[in-house]
A = this chain, B = another copy of it.
Amino acid sequence: MKRKVTLKQIAKELDVSISTVSKSLRNSPEISEDTRQKVQAFAKLYNYKPNNIALSLKNKKTKTIGIIIPEIVHHFFATVISGIEQVANENGYNVIVCLSDESFDKEVINMEMLANGSTDGFIMSLSKETEQKKDFHHIQEVINQGMPVVMFDRVTNDVLCDKVIIDDQMAAYEAVDFLVSKGFKKIALVTTVDYVSVGKLRTDGYINALNDHDLPVDDEMIVKIEDIANCASKIEKLLKENKPDAIFAVNELFAVTSIKLATKMGIKVPEDLSIIGFTDGIISQFSTPSITTVSQNGIKMGGRAAKLLIERLEMEEVEEEENEQYRTELIETHLVLRESTSTL
């Protein structure tokens, strides 16, 4: 068991001061070529690596990014982490991940815990409960303390900070517009309850698209699902009683569930019913039929979020802090055509 070696030990071993060792290793010109080499050779031999914690304390920056998301067993969020991680790594940052499990309390606790010195900033997506409560004091507090926050996907206007989103409303609009252009008249919507910000926006997009095409917006054709576990009955009812010829679903799970239920009821997809989902994940790719969907590039979103955060982090060092030019970056989306929509 050879514990990690410290400057102190090297200094003692070489009979010089700690300062000399430190400077030698950082190639300070103050130090003579001779001792520098001696120290460096010794350090190499003992595989000296500076202690991150000590550096963090000294420099008052940790070079780590805190990520707080609702869940990780979720293709889109995993994808975003992956994007963050990549950019973070390229810039010498590490990533510490906390899950809120869609709970407000967990989100607050995690945020406060990480804010006590563990990270330089945050990248986050709101939990459903937080969106419902509209209580963002924990985020505001962190920002007030001078730690930058970047929100993505599930964001709020009530907090001023950098944001990375897609244009949910427009993307939904385009999906529905596509269906209309293909001649569908009875387009249903399977969406979330309204407090889920992205769900609400996608719902708005659906409504706008119908309006713009002078199609009626029928409440019977809009199914709002609170709890994913028992969404089946509502969708079945929609299918049976309202006989839509197309469905726009605001996520993969709603889309695949609709397909499965329709198929079970003898409704053929896409012959009798076309379906468009949202998020181009594993399910959309491997479902049978595969699902036409609005792609949402999580890797890119994560990467951008990390870039924004790091830029702000590095900027702060130079300029005086109050550069309140918060940016909201839009990641483009597009429709991925697959088998679940008929090409009449």
Taking the closest CB of chain B, its distance from the CB of A70, in whole angstroms, is 11
Number of copies: 2
B residues less than 8 Å from A259 (CB atoms)? 288
The digit string for A62-83, where 1 denotes a CB below 8 A from any CB of B, is 1010000001111100110110
Whether B99 lies near A96 (C-beta < 8 A) is no
**CB-defined contacts of A114 to chain B, threshold 8 Å:** 94
- Contact with A144, one of B2, B62, B263 (Cβ below 8 angstroms): B2
Encoded as 1 (CB less than 8 Å from any B CB) or 0, chain A from 1 to 41 comes to: 11110000000000000000000000000000000000000
A308 at the interface (CB under 8 A from B): no
> Does A183 lie at the interface of the complex (its beta carbon under 8 Å from any beta carbon of B)?
no
CB contacts under 8 Å to B, within A75-115, are 75, 78-79, 81-82, 85, 89, 94-99, 110, 112-115
Residues on the B chain within 8 Å of A156, using CB? none
Known: A99-B82, A288-B287. A145 touches B1 (CB 8 A): yes
Complex contact B49–A116 (CB within 8 A): yes
Partner of A85, one of B57, B72, B82, B85: B72
The chain B residue with its CB closest to the CB of A73 is: B78
Do residues B49 and A57 form an inter-chain contact, with CB atoms below 8 A?
Answer: no
The answer on a CB contact under 8 Å between A146 and B73 is no
Residues of B within 8 A of A50 (CB): 116
In whole Å, how far is A28's beta carbon from the nearest beta carbon of chain B?
A: 21
State the CA gap A54–B260 with chains docked (Å).
55
Most chain B CB within a 10 A radius of its CB, from A2, A79, A116, A260: A116
Question: Which of B57, B82, B89 contacts A73, CB < 8 Å?
Answer: B82
A117–B54 touching, CB < 8 Å: yes
Q: Which residue of B lies closest to A260 (CB)?
A: B288
A159 at interface, CB cutoff 8 A: no
Contacts of A115 in B (CB 8 A): 49
Residue of chain B at shortest CB distance from A83: B73
User: A53: which B residues are within 8 A, CB to CB?
Assistant: 53, 56-57, 62, 117-118
Q: CB distance A98 to B95 under 8 Å?
A: yes
Q: Which residues of B contact A343 (CB under 8 A)?
A: none
Kindly list chain B residues whose C-beta atoms are within 8 Å of the C-beta of A52: 113, 116-118
CB neighbours (8 Å) of A267 from chain B are none
Contact at B75–A73, with CB atoms within 8 Å? yes
A139 interface contact, C-beta 8 A: no
- Report the nearest B residue to A48, measured CB to CB: B116
19 contacting pairs across A/B (C-beta < 8 A): A1-B322, A4-B116, A49-B116, A50-B116, A51-B116, A54-B117, A73-B75, A74-B78, A85-B99, A89-B110, A94-B98, A94-B114, A96-B97, A259-B288, A282-B283, A283-B283, A286-B287, A287-B287, A287-B288
Beyond A53-B56, A259-B288, A260-B286, 19 additional pairs, beta carbon < 8 A: A1-B321, A2-B145, A4-B145, A49-B116, A53-B57, A53-B62, A53-B118, A64-B96, A72-B72, A72-B82, A72-B85, A73-B75, A73-B78, A74-B78, A85-B97, A94-B114, A95-B96, A256-B286, A263-B288
